[in-house]
Amino acid sequence: MFDLLYEEPQTASDIAKSLDMSVQNAKYHLDKLEEAGLIEIIDIWYSDRGREMNVYAPTSSSIILFAGNSNEKRSLRKILKQSLGITGILGIASFLFGWVLSNLRPETIVDTDTDPSNPVLVMKNLVQFLALPEIAFLLGGIFVILLTLGGWYLTTLPD
């Protein structure tokens, strides 16, 4: 029913005819979708007999639907929870890695030229920041997580 309304706005009788159901049953489901804020009445048309008919269409708000069996749904939730957990662990590990390295490496000489309008200096500082072992560790870990999620996504696509 929701899919039909995304194709084009329709009345309850048009939907009932398309889905081979009674108008009362279609109206019941349309009322439930409207209560949930998924569809709205966008117009009123008049039948051949002069009766008013509400025209329904999806609301302009975004919606995410998941179609599939319950195992796929659980699997998607599970992998999202795991990836969030792994990302948190990666962040903590990066912090600890940086803390240990900062205690082991000798003090570096800091460049006193901090002119923000100097593009060479800005680029140099950016490269130095990205070259820090803890940042490289974090970025590498995020890259591996993205590769893993991408591989999982590609293997679960329907044929």
pLDDT tens, residue by residue, 7-44 = 899 999 999 999 999 999 999 999 999 998 889 999 99
Domain identity same for 120 and 97:
yes
Asked if residue 70 lies in contact with residue 33, where contact means CB atoms within 8 angstroms, the answer is no
Domain identity same for 52 and 96:
no
Q: Does residue 7 sit in helix, strand or coil?
A: helix
Read off the CATH number of the domain in which 39 is found. Answer: 1.10.10.10
Which range among 61-65, 78-82, 130-134 shows the weakest confidence by mean pLDDT? 61-65
Query: Quick check: is 85 in a domain?
Result: yes
Query: Quick check: is 65 in a domain?
Result: no
Residue in 77, 41, 40 with CA at minimum distance from that of residue 59: 40
Highest-confidence range of 99-108, 110-119, 122-131, by mean pLDDT? 122-131
Domain identity same for 30 and 83:
no
Residue in 14, 35, 43 with CA at minimum distance from that of residue 26: 14
Which range among 24-28, 63-67, 114-118 shows the weakest confidence by mean pLDDT? 63-67
Q: What is the reported pTM?
A: 0.41
Host domain of residue 8: 2-58
| Over residues 60-69, mean pLDDT | 60
Mean pLDDT of the chain: 79
Q: Provide the residue count of the chain.
A: 159
Surface-to-core class of residue 16, CB atoms within 10 Å of its CB (0-12 exposed, 13-18 middle, 19+ buried): buried
DSSP state of 44: E
Query: For the chain, how many structural domains are there in total?
Result: 2
> Distance between CA 30 and CA 15 in Å, rounded?
9
| Over residues 101-125, mean pLDDT | 68
Query: Quick check: is 63 in a domain?
Result: no
